[in-house]
Amino acid sequence: MGYKDTKIDNCVKIELKAALTLLTANMTAKQREAMTAKLFGGKPPSDGMRPVGGPVQGHYVDAILGHLATPELAVLKPQADKIAVLRANLAAVEATRAARRTAEQVARSALEDSSEVAKRFYNQMHARLTLLFPEDSDFVESCFLDLRNAAPDQGAEARKRALQAVYRARFGAVPRDISAALDDDLDEAKFSKYVELFASTSAEEIAAALVPAKG
């Protein structure tokens, strides 16, 4: 839209004004002022063409086209025709933008509605999963990624889940204290050590290695 606005701005402020200067070259100063005031409605083109499109600029240009259609300014028909085409092009762009803005607003409203539905559904999922898996709270918790203390290493969460999967395959539900012990930064070195621990030792030995003894 800015490009088309610039095109019509230049046509009115430069080309039309230059053509009018040639037309009034042999007139008296008073006649030139009267002709200029009539054509531009008493408002300099630099002011009238300042808005980027819109109804204010549109009314200003339409008034100019109306004056250019009068017999005394018929000689400026080439400029009038060009301005009319540029005015129509700019109006078409404005109409397209308005239609797309409306479509965008409708889409945004639909997105907001969908987001609210998704939020309500997500907020209910913990309770629903707890009812479905009452004996496996660790599995329920594993379905919800806790971002409050997220480590820079994004692979730590995946490594934690892998260890939990090994534990479940061997012993069943992962005790909460063992799952909590894996919340620290689980780097590659620690992961390799834990894989051997989880795969080859008993549940009691795993607990003893990860969970501090209560004294």
Distance, CA of 182 to CA of 188 (rounded, Å): 13
Distance, CA of 38 to CA of 34 (rounded, Å): 6
CA distance to 7, 173, 196, 210, per residue, from 193 (Å):
71, 21, 6, 12
Distance, CA of 78 to CA of 27 (rounded, Å): 21
Distance, CA of 134 to CA of 136 (rounded, Å): 6
User: How does pLDDT run across 50-106, given as a tens digit for each residue?
Assistant: 888 888 999 999 999 999 999 989 899 999 999 999 999 999 988 888 888 888 888
Paired tokens of 83: 């301005």
Q: How confident is the model at residue 145 (pLDDT cuts 50, 70, 90)?
A: low
Chain centre to alpha carbon of residue 204:
53
Which segment of 17-21, 139-143, 181-185 scores lowest on mean pLDDT?
Answer: 181-185
Question: Helices (DSSP H) in the chain: which residue ranges?
Answer: 2-10, 17-23, 29-40, 45-48, 54-68, 77-132, 137-142, 155-171, 176-181, 188-200, 203-210
How far does the chain reach from its first CA to its final CA, in angstroms?
A: 75
User: How does pLDDT run across 153-174, given as a tens digit for each residue?
Assistant: 567 788 888 899 889 989 999 9
pLDDT of residue 108: 86
